[in-house]
Amino acid sequence: MAQIDIQNVQKFFGHLQVLKNLNLTIADGEFVVMLGQSGGGKTTALRAIAGLESVTSGKILINGTEVQDRKAADRDIAFVFQSFSLYPHMTVRENIAFPLRAVRMKATERDKAVNEVAGILQIAEHLNRKPSALSGGDMQRVAIARALVRRPQALLMDEPLGVLDAKLREQMRAEIKRLHIARGSTSVYVTHDQIEAMSLADRIVILHDGVLQQVGAPDEIYLHPTNLFVAKFVGSPVMNINGVRIDGNGVTLSGADASFSFPDDALASVRGTAADLTLGVRPEAVLLQHQQTEGYIEVQTTNIEPLGSHDIVDIGLGEAVLRARTESGFISGEGQRVWARLDPAQAHFFDTATGLNLRGAN
């Protein structure tokens, strides 16, 4: 197992820069998820660590050794592809044993290692079948077994659950987590699915347009997004993002006909800035009441999405729209008059031009 350091890595494809000065340290035994939209550079970063992609400049270190100029075969890294990439002409056993043949391990030891990892991943009964005879989940297990059998320095996974159906994805997600806890392997996992990222990661790395946006534990990313991109990208339903004007203690959403009142300390970080401001509040931070209450302003419900465990309620105040999360059945229909307030502790003010969270990482 190993620590991986990425230092000032740049990657160009022709004139297109896909990684912009990437710096990241992945600790020994850590499970890091790279999260971002497609084309954000996360897969390129992963392939660069594996040696499947060269870097234009910068260093990649595995356990303190520079590897950026080494071949993939010499990095002692395992890779799980989205397509699984099981060799169709080999049986499952041969597939799993393939990395061991590269190092010319003795046949008896090889069989032992294959049987052991097959046992862990519960694919022992499939060892003599061809990959094409397996279900998607079992193919995925074989791909992971092939990656783990060699006990590599690190396990890299590129959207390994991307082609599975939703139910299987959830099940395999739990298995990957269980496996990581059991083996403690340094893992880097690429996905565009924030739920996967949240549930698996020790730390999430958010990449957008080749630039690292934020690195942090899942709750940190969720509660304290450093910029508008992260705020909008993480969380479902998405955070309410509205332009705002601040007068004294009143926070007025653009297009709204009334203003929310915030305590002084909540506005301390944005006082005196000349910048245009954008307010981000997650739906659960939009609080609703049926009766007129101190500090609440009157709004109108416009749409309700009942989701079973909770409802998402759209409320209108003038032209502005906010989405609120309520317990299910709290609001019975559209066009109701209710009272709303924003939780100041969960409100984020962003500089509209730069996208940065003005509260910083508090």
Which residues contact another protein (rule: CB under 8 A)?
50-52, 71-73, 75, 77-79, 81, 83-89, 98-99, 102-103, 130-132, 136, 139, 146, 150, 163
How far CA 269 is from CA of 212, 263, 361, in Å, comes to 24, 12, 12
Shortest Å, Cβ 293 to another protein: 54
Our CB check for another protein shows the closer of 85 and 336 to be 85
Residue 94 or 196 having the CB closest to another protein? 94
Q: How far is the CB of 284 from another protein (least distance, A)?
A: 36
Nearer to another protein, 188 or 266 (CB): 188
Question: Which C-beta is closer to another protein: that of 97 or that of 304?
Answer: 97
Instruction: For the CB of residue 163, give the shortest distance to another protein in the complex, in Å.
Output: 4
Q: Which is nearer to another protein, 61 or 358 (CB)?
A: 61
Distance, CA of 135 to CA of 113 (rounded, Å): 23
Q: Which is nearer to another protein, 146 or 203 (CB)?
A: 146
- Region of 94 on the Ramachandran plot (φ > 0 left; ψ -120 to 50 alpha; else beta): alpha
Nearest one of 201, 206, 233 to 219, comparing CA atoms:
201
Kindly give the interhelix angle for 107-120 and 136-148, rounded to the nearest 10 degrees.
Answer: 130
Contact by Cβ (8 Å): 286, 299 = no
**What interhelical angle do 136-148 and 92-102 show, nearest 10?**
20
Measured from the CB of residue 114, what is the shortest distance to another protein in angstroms? 14
Which pairing describes strands 203-208 and 277-281: parallel, antiparallel, or unpaired?
unpaired
Query: Least distance to another protein from the beta carbon of 1, Å?
Result: 17
| CB nearer another protein, residue 129 or residue 310 | 129
Q: What is the nearest approach in angstroms of another protein to the Cβ of residue 133? A: 9
What is the nearest approach in angstroms of another protein to the Cβ of residue 145? Answer: 12
Place of tokens 């969720």: 222
Distance of alpha carbon 324 from its chain centroid, rounded? Answer: 23
Strand order in the sheet with 277-281: 260-261, 250-253, 240-247, 277-281, 347-351
